Chains A and B, each alone.
Chain A
Amino acid sequence: MGQTAIRIEQMSKEYHIGGPQKTYDRLGYQVVDMLKAPFRRAGKLMRGQAGGAAELDETIWALKDVSFEIKHGEVIGIIGRNGAGKSTLLKILSRITEPTEGYADVYGRIGSLLEVGTGFHPELTGRENIFMNGAILGMTRKEIDRKFDEIVAFSEIGKFIDTPVKHYSSGMYVRLAFAVAAHLDPEILLVDEVLAVGDVAFQRKCLGKMGDVAKAGRTVLFVSHNMAVIQTLCNRGICLRSGGVVADGPIAEVVQEYLRDLEQFKTENVADRKDRKGWGKVKLIDLQVSDGEGHPTTLLKAGSPVRFTFDVSGMLANLSCGFTILDDLGQPLAQFKSDVPGPEDTQRNDGRVRFICDIDELMLLPGRYRLDVFIRGGGERQDLLEAATLFDVEIGQLRGRQITAPDNQRISMLMPHRWQSPQS
């Protein structure tokens, strides 16, 4: 094997968590808390409860005793559920935050695409932002000068390069941001789901660029929920669960491990799940999939009616629900949003905060699918639950036509259609 690129030894990261929305501390609060603490502790001692500093502050281990080694030239997919520690790992490797214990030896320059466009200033022109952003990412002026034309060409910004980026469309903004980051040419590249940006053509271009990076023998750590993309790009996978490594090896095997991990959701109660994203003022507390007759099931017939029922913990202004159907490898297939009105939509008035989505004909081929559910309200994303449920689709009928399992495993969509064939 080649030279070591990254060696991680027994690395752990502890986070102090207050309330879910506590984004910063208030000095006054801390002072009061400090003054109160001795009394509270004395009280606890008197009541015979063991009290210590740990009790005053809730902490979680985002990473716990993680060790692995990566060689130069490897393209590694980091996978795991939300909250498994993937982002924390990348944050530590890109030196944004420090580990609590353990260490990592990194050989070579690390570039990260944790969030493209961070550090862009709306008032500066595209050209100025390229230089600014390049410098923030650790490029020297000379380097940027040399790559400038290439960056502009890649971004397809063209003549708008001297326009302040606040006048850019969001697509242009993202393209330029990615172009800068993609030309950083680090020995080790950290990528976190940036491929979800831009239009399809640009996404393909980004994937191509990442392929080039890998081809040039550079090291790439890639975090994604899309197993299809991960399997194309990576040759080795590392699967994290609750801050620890549960699988490390050839990508196909690790993806299987991850899918087994997702299976557990079938038995887990939606309301108890902690791996959520969003503000959390309201959450998804129950979710039901039922067939045409209204019987709850996770085995659906292709081409048959299906009903998805979502229960939310509370009401908010502009509350809306949405979900995405993904295939077994995490490739999104279709999205449904209640805030985009349709003429047949109705409102319910039974005192419950419940969204029901009826699909007359389930246009999915037999296979395994999952649902990502998101709740919006008060102008913010309140909840995002990945793999909120899984369901299987079995052989069925669509408008009188028999639906069978696809010849090719990677096909999922179905459409009502009719044929005109030559008479034999």
Chain B
Amino acid sequence: MDSLKQDIPNASKLDDVKPTYPDFPMIQIKPSKGWVSLRLDEVWKYRELLVFFTWRDLKIRYKQTVLGASWAIIQPFFTMIVFSLFFGRLAGIPSDGVPYPIFSYTALVPWTFFANGLMQGANVLVNNSDMIRKIYFPRLTMPIATVLAGLVDFALAFIVLLGMMVVYHFLPSANYDIKIGLNVLWLPMFLLLAFVTTLGVTFWLSAMNAQFRDVRYVVPFLVQVWLFLTPIAYPSSLVDMPWRLLFGLNPMAGVVEGFRWVLLGTDTAPGPMIIVSSVTAVILLVSGAFYFRKMERVMADVI
């Protein structure tokens, strides 16, 4: 760049220094037509901002709370206790031959990641509307950062899960009874599936929320319904095979059953259901990203 330095006659009346300039990269600002490209290169260019947003999110998330980051554990853990009491004990719902508490907690860990990602992600644009109205940056970085920050909460809850696995003898310990196998190598795949699903839904919801504040009221309801459509409190084995595929249309069902298969060795190995889940998740992500970009055009005007 420096080799292309060029003299610019100084137009300023303030003095007569002759500065030098490299050739400037050109950006054309024009109305985008039809389905806009995702401009992922822009997001990449702003990757440092993505890191900063994630870091800020983490920093602020538990500010002025007494219990701080332990909330990341308390949420799924207490839900597990409630589920164990009501669904496990009172209703006697089967749990694929695994103790009910760990059966539900294994599902609640990725579920909490998903639900919190949705609830925080849906509001991220609205909460930062000042920035959207006044500064340019690829808006996609915002929901992505929120979901990324959720991974830390996930990690905390996951550590507790490991602890429970020791307690329930799913992990090698003094008097072992090893149930965990090579399946564990699949774990990152299921985490990725959860991530993609959360991101996809968050793209949709946050972009919609920018224009339609109804979303804010829809999200808690949506999360509640989704919770019961996902085999968290019950095993998907309660549903017979042809219908189980339909179940897979909910990618979180695939995630939850995948986690159980990997960690608890339940009989829910990746099958057609997981494939259906993965395809749905990818469709959600891609369509969400495109919808988001389409909305981004008018975001600053309508938010």
Q: Indicate whether A and B interact.
A: yes
Residues on A lying within 8 angstroms of B by beta carbon are 1-3, 5, 15-16, 24-28, 30, 71-75, 91-108, 112, 114-115, 118-119, 121, 123-124, 128, 131-132, 135-138, 140-141, 187, 211, 214-217, 235-236
The answer to whether B211 has its CB under 8 Å from any CB of chain A is yes
Number of interface residues of B (CB under 8 A): 52
Q: Are A235 and B11 in contact (CB under 8 A)?
A: yes
Q: Are B130 and A118 in contact (CB under 8 A)?
A: yes
Chain B 107-137 per-residue mask, 1 if CB under 8 angstroms from chain A, else 0: 0000000000000000000001011111111
| Top-9 shortest CB links A-B | A217-B19, A103-B30, A107-B24, A108-B24, A2-B8, A95-B136, A27-B212, A104-B29, A135-B52
Interfacial chain B residues near A27, Cβ < 8 Å: 212, 214-215
The answer to whether B48 has its CB under 8 Å from any CB of chain A is yes
Interface centre among B59, B136, B214, B298 (most CB of A within 10 A): B136
Interfacial chain B residues near A101, Cβ < 8 Å: 31
Q: Are B11 and A74 in contact (CB under 8 A)?
A: yes
Q: In the complex, A235→B12 CA distance in Å?
A: 7
Contact of B212 among A25, A102, A140, A214 (CB under 8 A): A25
Q: Are A3 and B24 in contact (CB under 8 A)?
A: yes
The chain A residue with its CB closest to the CB of B26 is: A107
Contact of A73 among B10, B59, B64 (CB under 8 A): B10
Q: Are B59 and A26 in contact (CB under 8 A)?
A: no
Interfacial chain B residues near A136, Cβ < 8 Å: 49, 52, 131, 135, 137
CB distance from A420 to the nearest CB of B (A): 43
Interfacial chain B residues near A137, Cβ < 8 Å: 135
The answer to whether B67 has its CB under 8 Å from any CB of chain A is no
CB distance from A33 to the nearest CB of B (A): 13
The answer to whether B225 has its CB under 8 Å from any CB of chain A is no
Contact A3/B8 with A91-B300, A99-B31 known, Cβ cut-off 8 Å: yes
Interfacial chain A residues near B136, Cβ < 8 Å: 94-96, 112
Q: Are B30 and A96 in contact (CB under 8 A)?
A: no
The answer to whether B60 has its CB under 8 Å from any CB of chain A is yes
The answer to whether B303 has its CB under 8 Å from any CB of chain A is yes
Residues of B28-87 contacting chain A, CB below 8 A = 28-32, 46, 48-49, 52, 56, 59-60, 63-64
Q: In the complex, A118→B52 CA distance in Å?
A: 15
Q: Are A114 and B211 in contact (CB under 8 A)?
A: no
Q: Are A15 and B301 in contact (CB under 8 A)?
A: yes
CB distance from B284 to the nearest CB of A (A): 20
